Every structure is written in structure tokens, then in C-alpha cells.
Structure 1
Amino acid sequence: MSAAQISVPEFLLNVPYRIWLALGVLLLGLVLAYLTGVINRRLLRRAGVPEVIEGTAFERTAREFDTSTVRILAKLSSYFILAVTVIVALTVADVNYLEQFWSGVAAFLPRLFVAVVVFIVGIVVGDKAELLVAERLRGIKLPELGVLPTLVKYSVVYVATLIALGQVGVQTLALIVLLAAYAFALVLFAALATKDLVASAAAGVFLLLRQPYGIGDEVRVAGERGVVQEVDLFVTHIETDGEEHVVPNHAVFREGIVLIRD
């Protein structure tokens, strides 16, 4: 019988059962990947993730591409299921010449998925930590503190990057050396950036304990004259002629204060 005389049903009957089984696995994987994405997206929304990451740099960037962090994470889970499905389907189809290659891919793929998720979560958490630290430090009028939110952000991202690299097989010793070097640089930088803050805190403790002046006193300090409105651990608030001056406590301690009595 010639090829032209073979009917479609006969052709289908000649297809090895392994191919049909592989196609069934692919179809099932497509459905499972879609359901996984939908379920994960709903779970993340119910967990309040969109509200937590609102305003972060990563979320704003995602919005520019008409997507969101939740959608990206959900799609990653779908793609992971789909990739595993392809590997299983090829295995079922008995593609022997690719067996070694796909076995390596099958071992590496879960680690790559975890690494990508860890990296994305690190970026999101770093952005959120930056916003929280900036909000906490907003009331402290010291220019040295302006770098701390960014420092916190990149510290979180750096640690997440190290964890992600560890997932894809980067040597642990190299990660430890990098982490130790980063920690040393972080401590050194923080010490240099916050030396005035530490000095202000120490001076603030002294001022709060000794109370050489209090709220309502008229004083002259650091070239400013006015009425003391507030004294906290880091700064002293002085108001004069409708203007409020915020004087770091280390300046008060260093230059001294003149208590004006009428």
C-alpha cells in the first residue's frame, strides 16, 4: 500500500503510543501550568502582597511594562511547571539521545527557579526596606542619614544575590569571602556615615539627663537664638520669628549654649 493510500486513521494508528502519551503529558502540563499561575496569583493577592510591595521600585518598573510583581511571580511558577512538563514529555517519548542533556536540565531547573524567585523577592524586600527606613528617619534632620535607606536596600539585595548564586552552584567559599568583605565595608561605611549621629546621640543623653535648658527657655546656640520647642535624643528644636531651627545635639554640646534671662 502506497503512502497516498494510507488513510488518516491508519496513520494515527501507526504513531507509537509513547508519542501519544507524551502529547497527553504536554496537554496536562499546559492545564496544570495555567491553574498554578491562577492559584498562585490569587493566593498572593489574598495574602496582601500587592499592598505590601506597593510603591517599591520593582513594582513601579513592572507597572511600566503593564504587569505587576504578583503576575511575574505567578508566571514564573507557570513557566516552571511547563518546563518540567516538557522534560517529562521528552522522557516519556523516549528521546534517548537527549537523555543526558535533559537529566542535567531537570536537575538544574528547580535551582534556577528558586534562584530567580529569591532574587526577585530580594529586590522587592530591599525596596520596601528602603521605604520603611526612609519613613522612620524622616523626622531626624541629619544629612548623614540620607544614605542609610539606600544602604539597607542594597544590603538586602546583595544577600539575596548571594543566596541566588548559591542556588545555581557558585562555590560557597567564594560567597563567604564576598559576604565577609561586604560586611566589613558596610560596617566601615556605616561608622563613617553615622559618626555625627552617634555624637549627637551621646550629647543628647547628656542633655536629657542634666537638662541645662528646657522647653520654653530662650537660648542662643550654634548661632541661633530662639525659644526651645523640643529636645530629643538627636536634635534640639528652636523657634524664632516664625522659623524653626533644628540644631544637632553634638553642635550644642560642642559650641555650648547661652541661656537668656530677661
Structure 2
Amino acid sequence: MDVSQFVAENYDYILAAVIVAFGVVTGAVARRMNERVMAALGVGDAVEGTSVERTARNFGTTTTAFVARISGWVIYGVALVLALRVVNPLLATALWVQVTGYLPNVVIALVVLVVGLIAGDKAELAVSERLRGVKLPEIGVLPVAARYSVVFVAVLVALSQLGVATMALVIAFAAYLAAGILAFLVATRDLLAAGAAGLYLLLTEPYGIGDTIRVEDMEGFVQEVDVFVTRIEDDGTEYVIPNHLVIRSGVVRVID
């Protein structure tokens, strides 16, 4: 049997093998190009330190490498389906319809989930930075709540891409938000009361910096008045008085 006869008899299989080989090469090139593009855009630095990046490193990879591999896997899958279409057109056509109808949604869902996890970590860090100066233990739950809220939204979007009914999850998320807001209001009622009282004091200015005042059994000259507290000092002792206590107990302005 000469080469031309062998090629003629096995043309479909040879063409399928060429398609698979081309898909493997193209997928590898696309993966490397995507890694370089994300590195140039600073994606690696943006996800550094996030839980997604730590998880990826536990599996011996990185977030950018994983996302780049997704593009390679998509090309590999398309090449396999095209090769199968050459060998068995009927089976490949049915499979192609399923793949082209579902695979893009799977890819989008994976990307949304990864982005949501990264954004959740960033939201937690941002809220923690904003609340660093607030010395209330109840505030510590807010960064975590911000993180999981972002992740929950990402999960909802990802599931909707996969055709999963998410109405029940949307209702659960709304209930979660309502419960979170209620818990926050209850946990920070003193802080909110102090803030409201502080706004009143800043607007009416019943006392100012340098004035000597007395609140309950605390007396001294005013060092600072902000939204939440009034700071007074007397003989080396500093009192930090919540503003709602000033309103509730009353303030005596001492005039020499």
C-alpha cells in the first residue's frame, strides 16, 4: 500500500488528527498570550494576597495562569469537536450544538465567579481600611459582610449564566441584606446615637475648643469635638465622652 492510497483510505482520521494538533498548538499559544496580556495589565499585582490567589498557589498555579488556561481549554474543546465532526458528522453535529450553546455560558460563569471572589477580597480590604479608626468591636463584621455580599452577587450571576433558576436565591439575598442592615443598626445603635448627637453639637456649638465643661462627674477643657466623641482634659487626665452622653446627661459650661 503506497502513501497516497493510505491517505485516501484514512483521510478523515488524518484530517481529524491535524485539527487536534492545530487546536493543541493554538490553545497553548492563546494561553501564553493571555498570560502576558494580563501581566502587562497588572492583573497579577491586583489579585496578589487575595483568597483566590492563595487558593491557586496551593494548587501550584496562579489566578492569571488559571484564567489563561480557560481560554486554552476552550480551544482544545472546539478542536476536539471539529475533529469528531470530520470522523462522525452526525454525532459531532449534536455535540456541537450542545457545546456552542452551553460552553460560552460556562466560561462566562467561571470568569464572573473568579472576578467576584477577587472583588470580594478587595471590598473587605477597602471597608477595613475605611473603618480602621472606629474602635467598636461590632464594626469588625462589616468587612466580612461586604466580602460575602459581593461573592453572593457573583454566584447569582454565574448561576444565571448556567440557566439555574435564581429567584429563590435573590429572595434569600434580599432577606440577608435586610437582616444584615437590622443587625448593623442594633449593634451600632450607640454609634449612630453618638453621630446624631455629634452633628447637633457641631451645628449648634454649645461649647468649643478651649472651653471648660463638665459632663456628669467629668470636668476639663475641650480638646476636640468630632462627630462621635468630645475629648476633654484635666490635670493630665483625658476623658473621651460619647456625644450622645453629652446630650443625654447635659453639659455644664464652666465660666471663670
TM-score (norm 1): 0.81
Counterpart residue type for residue 24 of structure 1 = V
Partner residue in 2 for 1:54: 48
For residue 189 of structure 1, the aligned residue among 175, 183, 186 is: 183
Give the distance between the partners of 1:59 and 1:192, measured in 2 at CA: 35
For residue 214 of structure 1, the aligned residue among 204, 208, 232 is: 208
| Structure 1: runs of 5+ lacking an equivalent | 1-5
Displacement after TM superposition at 1:79 (Å):
1.6
Is it true that 1:158 corresponds to 2:152 in the alignment?
A: yes
SS of the equivalent of 1:236 reads strand
SS of the equivalent of 1:230 reads strand
Contact kept in structure 1, 2:156 and 2:166, CA below 8 Å: no
Partner residue in 2 for 1:70: 64
Partner residue in 1 for 2:94: 100
Counterpart residue type for residue 128 of structure 1 = K
Cα-Cα RMSD: 3.0
Rate the CA distance shift 1:215–1:170 in 2: closer, same or farther, 3 A.
same
Partner residue in 2 for 1:177: 171
Counterpart residue type for residue 189 of structure 1 = A
Is it true that 1:199 corresponds to 2:167 in the alignment?
A: no
Partner residue in 1 for 2:16: 22
SS of the equivalent of 1:187 reads helix
Is it true that 1:122 corresponds to 2:132 in the alignment?
A: no
Displacement after TM superposition at 1:120 (Å):
1.0
TM-score (norm 2): 0.83
Give the distance between the partners of 2:6 and 2:101, measured in 1 at CA: 34
| Structure 2: runs of 5+ lacking an equivalent | none
Contact kept in structure 1, 2:82 and 2:92, CA below 8 Å: no
135-144 vs 246-255, which moves further: 246-255
Partner residue in 1 for 2:34: 40
Displacement after TM superposition at 1:257 (Å):
4.2
Identical counterparts, % of pairs: 46
Counterpart residue type for residue 177 of structure 1 = I
Counterpart residue type for residue 205 of structure 2 = Q
Rate the CA distance shift 1:131–1:228 in 2: closer, same or farther, 3 A.
farther
Counterpart residue type for residue 167 of structure 1 = Q
Displacement after TM superposition at 1:217 (Å):
4.3
SS of the equivalent of 2:24 reads helix
Contact kept in structure 1, 2:81 and 2:92, CA below 8 Å: no
- 1:22-46 deviations in whole A, cap 9, x for unaligned? 2222222222212222222222222
Give the distance between the partners of 2:41 and 2:168, measured in 1 at CA: 36
- 1:189-246 deviations in whole A, cap 9, x for unaligned? 3333443332222111011112233334455557766654432222334567777665
Counterpart residue type for residue 196 of structure 1 = D
Counterpart residue type for residue 13 of structure 2 = I
Aligned length: 256
Give the distance between the partners of 2:192 and 2:28, measured in 1 at CA: 54
Give the distance between the partners of 2:139 and 2:72, measured in 1 at CA: 42
Counterpart residue type for residue 122 of structure 1 = G
Contact kept in structure 2, 1:222 and 1:251, CA below 8 Å: no
For residue 31 of structure 1, the aligned residue among 18, 25, 31 is: 25
- 1:148-202 deviations in whole A, cap 9, x for unaligned? 1111111100100000000111125334433433343333333334433322221
Partner residue in 2 for 1:3: none
Counterpart residue type for residue 199 of structure 2 = V
- 1:85-133 deviations in whole A, cap 9, x for unaligned? 2222222332534643453233211111111111111010010010001
